[in-house]
Amino acid sequence: MTQDTAHASLTGGNLPLEPNGFVGREADVEELTDLLGVARVVTLCGAGGIGKSRLAVRVASQVAGEFPGGVWLVELADAVRGDQIEPRVAAVLGVKAEPSRALADTLIDALGDRRLLLVMDNCESLIEESARFCRAVLTVCPDVRVLTTSREPLRVAGETVWRVPPLTLPRSDGHDLGTSEGVRLFLGTSEAVRLFADRATAASRAFSVTEQNAADIAGLCEALDGMPLAIELAAALCRVLTVEQINARIRDRFRLLSAGDRTAPARQQTLRATVDWSYQQLNEPERILLRRLAVFTGGWTLDMAEQVCAGNALWAEDVLGVLCDLVDKSLVLADAEVAGETRYRMLETIREYATEQLDASGEEPEFRRLHRDHMIEVAARIHQTIVRRPRPAWTEICPMLVMLDELQANVWAAVRWSVESAGDPESALRLLILLRWPIIAGGRFTPADKWLDRLLDAGPGELTPCVRGDALALRGQVAFGQGDPDTAQIACAAAVDPCREAGLYGPLSGSLAILAWVAIYQRRPERARSLLDDALEAVRTVDDPWHETVIRSMEGTFALSEGRAKESQRSFEAALAIAHELDNHWAAPVALIGLAQVAWLRGDLAEARAHYERALDMLQDITAHWQAITCLSGLGRIALAQGDLATARGRLIESLRLCIGTGQRLGVARRIETLAQLALAEEDDRRAVRLAGASAAIRSAMGGAVLPPPGFGARMEELLQPARMRLGDALVAQLWAHGQEMSQEQAVRYALQFDEPYETPALLGKHPVVAPMTTLTCREWEIAELIARGMSNKAIADELVISPATAARHVANILAKLGFSSRTQVATWVIEQNRS
3-class state of residue 642 by DSSP = coil
Q: Mean pLDDT for the chain? A: 81
Highest mean pLDDT among 137-141, 661-665, 705-709, 722-726: 137-141
On whether the CB atoms of residues 455 and 417 are closer than 8 A, the answer is no
The percent of residues above 70 in pLDDT, for the chain, comes to 87
Which is nearest to 16 in space by CA: 49, 50, 64, 48?
64
Greatest mean pLDDT among 125-134, 250-259, 707-716 = 125-134
Separation CA 318–CA 311 (nearest Å): 10
Angle at 211 between CA 208 and CA 214, to 5 degrees: 70
Per-residue confidence (pLDDT) for residue 439, from 0 to 100? 83
The pLDDT of residue 340 is above 70 = yes
Q: What's the pLDDT band for 183 if we cut at 50, 70, 90?
A: low
Q: Which of 167-171, 396-400, 610-614, 768-772 has the lowest mean pLDDT?
A: 768-772
Q: DSSP class of residue 44?
A: E
Strand partners, 163: 45
Convert the pLDDT of each residue in 42-82 to its tens digit. 989 888 788 888 888 888 888 888 888 888 888 887 777 77
The confidence score (pLDDT) of residue 765 equals 46
Q: What is the pLDDT of residue 150?
A: 87
- At residue 372, the pLDDT reads 94
Q: Does the structure show a pLDDT above 50 at 318?
A: yes
Segment 207-228, tens digit of pLDDT: 877 777 777 788 788 877 788 8
pLDDT tens digits for 798-822? 888 888 888 888 888 877 777 776 7
706-723: average pLDDT: 68
pLDDT digits (tens, 9 = 90+) for 456-494: 988 878 889 999 999 999 999 888 877 788 899 999 999
pLDDT band at residue 707, thresholds of 50, 70 and 90? low
Q: Give the pLDDT of residue 10.
A: 37
Q: Tell me, what's the pLDDT at 775?
A: 65
Q: How confident is the model at residue 9 (pLDDT cuts 50, 70, 90)?
A: very low
Residue 145 has what pLDDT?
87
Looking at per-residue confidence, does 527 or 765 come out higher? 527
The residues, ordered by sequence, that sit 6+ positions from 272 with a Cβ below 8 Å of its Cβ are 254, 257, 258, 353
pLDDT confidence band for 256 (50 / 70 / 90): low
User: What pLDDT shows up at residue 259?
Assistant: 55
pLDDT tens readout for residues 756-789: 445 444 444 444 445 555 567 778 878 888 888 8
What confidence score (pLDDT) does residue 780 get?
81
pLDDT at 470 (0 to 100): 92
H helix count then E strand count, the chain: 42, 7
d(CA 226, CA 224): 6
Residue 594 — very low, low, confident or very high, per pLDDT cuts 50/70/90?
very high
Residue 253 pLDDT class (50, 70, 90 cuts): low
**Between residues 423 and 241, the one the model is more confident about:** 423
Please check the confidence at residue 636 and state whether its pLDDT lies above 90: yes
Least confident window among 3-12, 180-189, 394-403, 772-781: 3-12
In the chain, the percentage of residues whose pLDDT exceeds 90 is 17
| Residue 337 β-bridge partners | 342
- Give the model's pLDDT for residue 572: 93
Q: Is the pLDDT of residue 273 over 80?
A: no
List, in order, residues 6 or more apart from 781 with CB less than 8 Å away.
Answer: none
pLDDT at 700: 74
- Mean pLDDT to the nearest integer, 731-742: 85
Which range has the worst mean pLDDT, 60-69, 548-557, 655-664, 789-798? 655-664
293 touches 332 (CB < 8 A): yes
String of DSSP letters for 137-174 = HHHH-TT-EEEEEESS----TTEEEEEPPPPPPPPTT-
Whole-number Å distance between alpha carbons of 649 and 679: 9
Contact partners, residue 698, CB within 8 Å, separation at least 6: 665, 666, 668, 669, 672, 744, 747
Q: Which of 66, 78, 4, 63 is nearest to 29 (CA)?
A: 63
- Whether the per-residue pLDDT at 111 is higher than 60: the answer is yes
Residue 179 has pLDDT above 70, yes or no: no
CB atoms within 10 A of CB 89: 22
Reference 495, options 524, 529, 525, 463; nearest CA is: 463
Is residue 191 within 8 A of residue 61, CB to CB? The reply is no
Query: Regarding predicted confidence, which is higher, 125 or 367?
Result: 367
Rounded CA-CA distance 477/454 in Å is 16
